[in-house]
Amino acid sequence: MLMTDAIVPAAGPARNVLLIVGGGIAAYKACELVRLLRREGTGVTCVLTESGARFVTAMTLAALSENPVHTTLWDLKNEVEMGHIQLSRAADLVVVCPATADLMARMAAGIADDLATTLLLATDKPVLTVPAMNVRMWLHPATERNVAQLRGDGIAVMEPDEGEMACGEYGPGRLPDPAEIAAAIGEMLGGRGVDFGGETLGGLSGGMIARAPERVETALDDIDYFAGSEDPGALFVDEEVPEELTTEELAAQERADEEPAAPLDLCGPLLSKKGKAKSAPPTDPEAINHIVKSDPEAAPEPFVENPAEAEGAAAVPPGEPAAPEPSAPEPSAPGPATTEPAATLAEPAPDILAGQPDFAGTDPANLPLYGKRIIVTAGPTHEPIDPVRYIANRSSGKQGFAIAAAAQRAGAHVILVSGPVALPTPPGVERLYIETARDMAKAVEASLPADCAIMVAAVADWRTTEVSQGKMKKRRSAPPHLVLTENPDILTGLAAGGRKPRLLIGFAAETDDVIANAKGKLKSKGADWIVANDVSGGTGKSVMGGDDNTVHLVTSAGVETWASMPKDEVAERLVRRIAEKLAEDV
């Protein structure tokens, strides 16, 4: 049975979107959103805020959107014609993506202090806001008020996705997938959807976007050519039936398609028309290495990473064709980099998320400390005597860092207040660097409120009343006279303060009567638990600086003695007990 192709026509005229890109790590997804909209045929004009330009470049957005990118209100050429007013009126829809907490607050307050907020205040078109921020910022009462105000003003605000974030926390605040944003845009503009590899976009991609024709196979024997018409000839009046090509014509057409296109003549009196940009201009060294030559007219020299290899390389014989230049890669969604020969690639940009944990597939139900905020102190403190000397102790910070890492793996947002130690920050942990006991006390206070605080740091008990501005010199008659005063007791201050965490844990480093001293500290400090250990060993044998620990967990219910084990295992066991205790108190 013969088959033929029926063409489903595209529907509706193209529309235009004005996209405001705010400052945030999610700004890179705006590039994918532009690519999706342009692939459908939607016109996109981008406005890049000053903060947004720290995450994506105007060149990238210009290449993807095929339109100039607007970055400032003080553009003399555009503002002569009130460019910000024209921008706000020319689009069919204004989209703010990503919308940071700061940008949404300024929108809610009606502030117009830059190009983005000015055109948002001046527009008479619908506005769609797509928030992206930290979970606590999204749940903050101020943000909730701003969202309510924006919605009351008639601005559509998408709900953010819930999931893991670049900062290591988990919860609502993630920017939705670009396909979902495009679907929301389509709903606001109306029309039918288009299937994007399983993602169905709204009317933006259907009712108003010209698409490639959809081919539908139809059996000729199944067509009723004369249905609804008395004149059989009327069937062919309104449509043109293309002539069928012969085999020879088809072969000639295929050969023509394979032939390289003729080079453009850029020397003529007319400027070339702008083409369909597929990617940002290449930035590899081979494309620009001619700018350092003394003769600006000279052609670029081949770029070779190893000059010695270039000297020994054989020259291309006359008449032989040179190897084709590699084409610039097309921009795509973030993912694994494509492997290319080293000589044709520029140095890769540093990954700003390097070292952050991979939460893919993590179920919050399996994270016992999910949503909890935990403060951990670690390491020693240094109390200066003069610019050279200080009072300190042998704490390495290993136990505190291990506890911080274990709590983060259990789903908690961990703030690690660390003294001077040579340890890397655990992935996903927020680290605050301090030096003195008073610095640590201030940092802990600033990190409240918290569900749990674990005071592991070996804080110096004393400091000098005065710090010498110059190095103190030896004296023949007697050593320098140092007047000492007590440092603040951070653990006691937390227990007595009005914002005491639900679970407050102190550490006791003792050399004798370990358990008795720990019980006394539990009562005098006002802590819920005390983790005591014996630090009486000499250099190389002490818990301080070592990899193992033997601890006693002292609570109001009694004393648990844990056998000697690596500090990582002590941390895991302690975190499990913390999770159980916090779950009991709910």
Q: Are 199 and 176 in contact (CB under 8 A)?
A: no
Q: How far apart are CA 166 and CA 352, in angstroms?
A: 9
Q: How far apart are CA 414 and CA 372, in angstroms?
A: 8
Q: How far apart are CA 104 and CA 110, in angstroms?
A: 10
Residue 167 among the catalytic residues: yes
Nearest residue to 19 (alpha-carbon basis) of 95, 93, 117: 95
Residue with tokens 């529907």: 11
Looking at the DSSP bridge assignments, the partners of residue 171 are 163
Q: Are 157 and 143 in contact (CB under 8 A)?
A: no
Looking at the DSSP bridge assignments, the partners of residue 46 are 19
* Parallel/antiparallel/unpaired status of strands 43-48 and 16-21: parallel
Q: What are phi and psi of 171, to 5 degrees?
A: 150, -170
* Parallel/antiparallel/unpaired status of strands 390-391 and 383-384: antiparallel
The residue annotated as part of the active site, out of 31, 46, 167, 452, is 167
For the chain, the residue count is 586
Cα 329–chain centre separation: 23
Q: Are 16 and 90 in contact (CB under 8 A)?
A: yes
CA distance to 22, 28, 511, per residue, from 98 (Å): 5, 9, 55
Nearest residue to 18 (alpha-carbon basis) of 99, 94, 115: 94
Q: Which residues are marked as active site?
A: 167
